[in-house]
Amino acid sequence: MRTAFVKKEEVDRKWYVFDADGQTLGRFASRIAKILMGKNKPTYTPNVDDGDFVVVINAEKVKITGKKLTDKVYYHHTGYIGSLKSGTLKDRLAKEPEEVIVDAVWGMLPKTRLGRKMIKKLKVYRGSEHPHKAQKPEPLKIS
């Protein structure tokens, strides 16, 4: 038996659309990360980006459990001395819900050149409309 490794020229990419309405953030992000990495395919190869494109709609309606809305703090350093910015999940969800989902998925991807390619295949939108209708994304239900 020979193991078949997929090459980047042979990758067949699909487009999927997910509705974040009522989905728990962490479980939702882990399922998205699997699709971006290609782990849902039988041709998964760790050193090749053979994942699919993912479009997430209704990002502002994602569900957060427990006391994370007030207790979870995001930090950002601007690069200047003494300029460490912080904000709670509640503030960030109100201002930029797309980035909350992107950060959750990015935490589950490899932090390499390959991971940076994978995160570019994630498209997150606040409302229920998205500009990727020409790619004919398939709706997937995450249970």
Does any domain span residue 111?
yes
Number of domains forming the structure of the chain: 1
Helix axes 25-37, 97-106, angle to 10 degrees: 60
For residue 70, tell me if it sits in a domain.
Answer: no
Q: Is residue 99 scored above 80 in pLDDT? A: yes
Asked whether residue 50 is assigned to any structural domain, the reply reads yes
pTM: 0.91
User: Looking up tokens 């589950």, which residue turns up?
Assistant: 108
Return the H-helix or E-strand segment holding 105.
helix 97-106
**Domain, as residue range, for 117:** 18-65+95-139
Give me the CATH number covering residue 57: 3.90.1180.10
Q: What is the pLDDT of residues 123-141, one digit of tens each?
A: 999 999 999 999 999 998 7
For residues 23-49, give the mean pLDDT: 94
Contact by Cβ (8 Å): 17, 32? no
d(CA 110, CA 47): 11
- CA 67 distance to own-chain centroid: 22
Over 70: is that where the pLDDT of 78 sits?
A: yes
